[in-house]
Amino acid sequence: MSTPDLQTGPDVSTTSAPSPTPPPPAAAVGGAKPRRRGGKATGPRYPAWLAAPLLTYYLVIFVAPLLLLVAFALATQADSFAGEQYAFGFNLSNFEAVFDGLYLDVFVQTFLLAAGGTLATVLVGFPLAYWMARHVSSKRKMLVVLLVMIPFWTSFLIRTFAWKLILDGNGAFAGALGIDILYTWKAILIGLVYGYLPLFVLPVYASLERMDWTLVDGAKDLGATPWRAFRQITLPLTRPGIMAGTLLVFIPMAGEYVIPQMLGGGRFLFIGSVIQGQFIGASNWPFGSAVSIALMLILSAFVVLYVVSALKEEQFGE
Amino acid sequence: MSVETEFDVRFRGVTKRFGGVVAVDDLDLDVRKGEFLSLLGSSGCGKTTSLRMIAGFEQPTSGSILIGDDDAVGVPPYRRDVNTVFQHYALFPHMTVLDNVAYGLKQRGVEKAERRKRAQAALDLVHLEGREGRKPRELSGGQQQRVALARALVMEPRVLLLDEPLGALDQQLRKDMQVELKRIQQEVGITFVYVTHDQGEAMSMSDRIAVMCNGKIEQLDAPEVVYDRPSSAFVAGFIGEMNTMAGTVRGVSGGVATIDVASGTVAAPVDGVHPSGDVLVGIRPEKVRVVADLDGPNRVAATVVTRLQLGSQIQLVAEMADGTTLTAVVPRAGTDADVDDLVPGDHIHLSWSASAPILLAA
Ligand SMILES: Nc1ncnc2c1ncn2[C@@H]1O[C@H](COP(=O)(O)OP(=O)(O)OP(=O)(O)O)[C@@H](O)[C@H]1O
Ligand SMILES: [Mg+2]
């Protein structure tokens, strides 16, 4: 085997041995096996071309559309009703329009509702996941996990529409109870929590399942009240799962447009609705693309900030 | 202040059931102040359950538990003046060694500088200076064990509970830690309740051993008493090796019982109640000697079946005329005649001292 080949091959580094300091196994992060030391970093080596299918998929499904989106965002919408005509180029005016006052409000409203929805999901989902992990007998656990996932087997659209019927002040349910919140932000919040709850519950449940509960016994033995043991032991040790769960619900919530449309009655504009409108209604693809990219960038910034701050609080790994 | 009793923990008729399983069965136990008490028994006999009831992680189904003079039933673990060294240490993986050790003091509201000082002193006690800033997983098993010990000791509890703390260590480290644990216990003077299923461990460290079986205590005595005068065949078999012979008491005179066994008669000293009827006679293998002839009391002829080298000793299993076997453990280069040259098939004579046979309830 000639070494020069290995050194110059551009994608060898992606498939060669893992980095010298491997991240600790998930179990160690979760605190399940405190005695386990870092495993050996030498896995089997595979030829680089094995990555080709995945790379191709990634290029076609992710990179190419993204580049297309960027190209559209920098294009100019031609002023003709005849058809969709674009002049590709380097035009930043679409982005300038995004940060116009009007759309800025929509961004703020979107992130406020997504943040509120995420918070509500955590408040409902964490106790549920905790109950599943600690208080359901191991025989019934699979059944309960299944129950959490079952809503996924029905169309998201139909389930959201069902909420519309449930929350309708003139309908059989909310009407009978004298509740009238359809087409308000409360209805949107309920819809968001309902729609995304399983995405939060499952990763959190998984990290609670991995948790070594004798650590909590250890804390209580040393004088910690149940609440302090929870805050000082359970919470930091299951933080990776909680972080994964919050990100999994916050990001799609911020891009949501079905729920605000159906349960908010269009009165609460989400940035997702704006994007949809630009592509389908107004047929302004360049502007729609610019809004999409702006949303992606802002979300990415949020995610980075969140991950960094959460990791700083408790140093895991090294 | 009221007069303190001489006991740190008292069980009164304590029963613990898990569903249909009786883990601890009508148990009475007094743990003396400052003693090193071992709970010894085979797997599933209720050792951990007893310990967890002292710690407060389990509540008895019936009966009462006193810690000091206070009724402990219903008191949660975090309000008990006892601490536990867990079998797998239960060190907090996201905290440094120092923070682990200081954790309990923090819960008590001890101020930070004081906390550090006391945690440091506890780490010094277990010889872990210089490792304060490490995470638990960066330590060896033996070192983790010491951290767990320091973390409990720093609380200066009334009773320290240890659940097979050496179970995960290798043989040599176990031996070292046994000596170390005993030293520390004597140094700090805290009452230790130590759970183990290793009889050697219990023998070498304990002031008293409670031999448990099926949720009950079979015998509670000093190690040498448990060894020399086991109360039952179970205890005798659990602590060390024991030759047992079933027999019938023929008569008792002058503090000696004569018992008919399959291989002849055995004379066993009796103290207290006179035995009668069917009994078991036990003789420790190391009390059996190889002798030149049959001239004298307590001698029997036998044929060597197996011969096993145990380092400085030799274990001989010999068959007597009636087909029953007797095991002897004799020193290699000792007083006994030519044991080094014995091979299976050799005819030998075995003997034991008059005080060796132990009467056990059948
Ligand atoms: N939480 C529990 N639920 C149901 N049964 C239990 C529970 N804890 C213990 N038991 C049962 O109670 C009995 C005693 O268990 P315990 O753990 O006290 O034994 P042990 O003497 O510590 O054994 P080992 O040496 O194996 O640790 C066993 O039969 C066990 O199966
Ligand atoms: Mg046990």
Chain segment A48-78, per-residue pLDDT in tens:
889 999 999 999 999 999 999 999 999 888 7
Residues 71-90 of B with CB under 8 A from A: 76-78, 83-84, 86, 88-90
**Residue closest by Cα to atom 22 of ligand 1:** B48
Tokens standing for residue B32: 């003396």
The whole-number average pLDDT for the span A116-138 is 96
Mutate one of B106, B107, B163 to test the A interface: name it (highest A CB count within 10 A). B107
**DSSP run (H or E) holding A210:** helix A185-210
The domain defined by B7-234 folds into: Rossmann fold (3.40.50)
User: Is the Cβ atom of B253 under 6 angstroms away from ligand 1?
Assistant: no
Average pLDDT across chain A, whole number: 82
Residue A38 lies in a domain: no
**Shortest Cα distance, chain B CAs vs residue A26, angstroms:** 13
**Residue closest by Cα to atom 20 of ligand 1:** B44
CB contact under 8 A, B104 and A223: yes
**Confidence check: pLDDT of A247 > 50:** yes
Question: B101-126, pLDDT tens digit by residue?
Answer: 999 999 999 999 999 999 999 999 99
Residues facing residue B65 across a β-bridge? B11
In A67-190, at which residue ranges do the beta strands (DSSP E only) sit? 76-77, 86-87
CA–CA distance, B94 with B92 (Å, rounded to integer): 6
Residue A254 lies in a domain: yes
CB contact under 8 A, A223 and B90: no
Question: B145-174, pLDDT tens digit by residue?
Answer: 999 999 999 999 999 999 999 988 888 889
Please indicate whether residue A110 or residue A84 has the higher confidence score (pLDDT). Answer: A110
For chain B, the structural domain boundaries read 7-234, 241-361
CA–CA distance, A110 with B53 (Å, rounded to integer): 53
Tell me if residue A248 falls in helix, strand or coil: helix
Tell me if residue A261 falls in helix, strand or coil: helix
**Residue closest by Cα to atom 6 of ligand 1:** B18
CB atoms within 10 A of CB A304: 10
Q: Which CATH class is domain B241-361?
A: mainly beta
Residue A72 lies in a domain: no
**Shortest Cα distance, chain B CAs vs residue A122, angstroms:** 23
Residue A18 lies in a domain: no
Residues facing residue B327 across a β-bridge? B317
The whole-number average pLDDT for the span B12-38 is 96
**Shortest Cα distance, chain B CAs vs residue A21, angstroms:** 14
Residues facing residue B249 across a β-bridge? B259
**Confidence check: pLDDT of B57 > 90:** yes
Report the residue among B21, B43, B59, B198 best suited for mutation to probe ligand 1: largest number of ligand atoms under 8 A from its CB. Answer: B21
Residue A287 lies in a domain: yes
CB contact under 8 A, B103 and A224: yes
* Reduced 3-state DSSP string for chain B: CCCCCCEEEEEEEEEEEECCEEEEEEEEEEEECCCEEEEEECCCCCHHHHHHHHHCCCCCCEEEEEECCEECCCCCHHHCCEEEECCCCCCCCCCCHHHHHHHHHHHCCCCHHHHHHHHHHHHHHCCCCCCCCCCHHHCCHHHHHHHHHHHHHCCCCCEEEEECCCCCCCHHHHHHHHHHHHHHHHHHCCEEEEEECCHHHHHHHCCEEEEEECCEEEEEECHHHHHHCCCEHHHHHHCCCCEEEEEEEEEEECCEEEEEECCEEEEEECCCCCCCCEEEEEECHHHEEEECCCCCCCEEEEEEEEEEEECCEEEEEEEECCCCEEEEEEECCCCCCCHHHCCCCCEEEEEECCCCCEEEEC
Tokens standing for residue B265: 């008669």
CB contact under 8 A, B86 and A214: yes
- In this prediction, residue B1 has a pLDDT band, given cuts at 50, 70 and 90, of very low
Domain housing A117: 100-317
Tokens standing for residue B218: 């079979």
- In this prediction, residue A311 has a pLDDT band, given cuts at 50, 70 and 90, of confident
- In this prediction, residue A269 has a pLDDT band, given cuts at 50, 70 and 90, of confident
Question: A5-44, pLDDT tens digit by residue?
Answer: 333 333 333 333 333 343 333 333 333 344 444 444 556 7
CB contact under 8 A, B83 and A28: no
Ligand approaching nearest to the C-alpha of A213: 1
Instruction: Identify the pLDDT of residue B196.
Output: 94
Ligand 1 atom nearest B87 alpha carbon = 27
Residue A145 lies in a domain: yes
CA–CA distance, B69 with B265 (Å, rounded to integer): 52
CB contact under 8 A, A219 and B92: yes
**Confidence check: pLDDT of B244 > 80:** yes
Instruction: Identify the pLDDT of residue A6.
Output: 37
| CA B361 to ligand 2 center in whole angstroms | 28
Burial, B110: exposed, middle or buried (Cβ in 10 Å; 0-12, 13-18, 19+)?
Answer: middle
Backbone phi and psi for residue B35, each to the nearest 5 degrees, phi listed first: -90, 165
**Confidence check: pLDDT of A1 > 60:** no
Q: pTM for the full model?
A: 0.81
Instruction: Identify the pLDDT of residue A253.
Output: 94
**Confidence check: pLDDT of A81 > 50:** yes
Going by the DSSP 8-state scheme, the letter that residue A87 receives in this structure is E
User: Is the Cβ atom of B279 under 6 angstroms away from ligand 1?
Assistant: no
Residues 6+ apart with CB under 8 A from A312: none
User: Is the Cβ atom of B46 under 6 angstroms away from ligand 1?
Assistant: yes
| CA B82 to ligand 1 center in whole angstroms | 21
Pick from B78, B90, B137: CB nearest A36: B137
Q: Do residues B71 and B269 touch, judged by C-beta distance below 8 A?
A: no
B175 near A CB under 8 A: no
| CA B215 to ligand 1 center in whole angstroms | 10
B334 near A CB under 8 A: no
- In this prediction, residue A171 has a pLDDT band, given cuts at 50, 70 and 90, of confident
Instruction: Identify the pLDDT of residue A208.
Output: 96
Please report, for the domain that includes residue A275, its CATH number: 1.10.3720.10
**Confidence check: pLDDT of A168 > 90:** no
CA–CA distance, A151 with A195 (Å, rounded to integer): 9
Instruction: Identify the pLDDT of residue A2.
Output: 37
User: Is the Cβ atom of B47 under 6 angstroms away from ligand 1?
Assistant: yes
| CA B70 to ligand 2 center in whole angstroms | 26
Tell me if residue A143 falls in helix, strand or coil: helix
In chain A, at which residue ranges do the beta strands (DSSP E only) sit? 76-77, 86-87
Question: B331-356, pLDDT tens digit by residue?
Answer: 876 555 577 788 899 999 999 988 89
Instruction: Identify the pLDDT of residue A21.
Output: 40
Burial, A257: exposed, middle or buried (Cβ in 10 Å; 0-12, 13-18, 19+)?
Answer: middle
Question: A226-236, pLDDT tens digit by residue?
Answer: 999 999 999 99
Ligand approaching nearest to the C-alpha of B52: 1
Pairing of strands B313-320, B299-310: antiparallel
User: Is the Cβ atom of B172 under 6 angstroms away from ligand 1?
Assistant: no
What is the count of structural domains for chain A? 1
Q: Do residues A272 and A255 touch, judged by C-beta distance below 8 A?
A: yes
Handedness of CA B249, B251, B252, B258 (dihedral sign): negative
Please indicate whether residue A240 or residue B220 has the higher confidence score (pLDDT). Answer: B220
CA–CA distance, B14 with B12 (Å, rounded to integer): 5
Pick from B108, B137, B168: CB nearest A37: B137
Which residue from A78, A133, A70, A64 is spatially nearest to A291, judged by alpha carbons? A70
CA–CA distance, B337 with B283 (Å, rounded to integer): 21
**Confidence check: pLDDT of B7 > 70:** yes
Ligand approaching nearest to the C-alpha of B57: 1
B137 near A CB under 8 A: yes
Pairing of strands B36-41, B208-213: parallel
Ligand 1 atom nearest B19 alpha carbon = 4
Question: A140-162, pLDDT tens digit by residue?
Answer: 999 999 999 998 888 999 999 99
Ligand 1 atom nearest B42 alpha carbon = 25
Please indicate whether residue B22 or residue B229 has the higher confidence score (pLDDT). Answer: B22
Instruction: Identify the pLDDT of residue A20.
Output: 39
CB contact under 8 A, A314 and B94: yes
**Shortest Cα distance, chain B CAs vs residue A240, angstroms:** 13
User: Which residues of chain A neighbour B78 with C-beta distances below 8 Å?
Assistant: 220-226
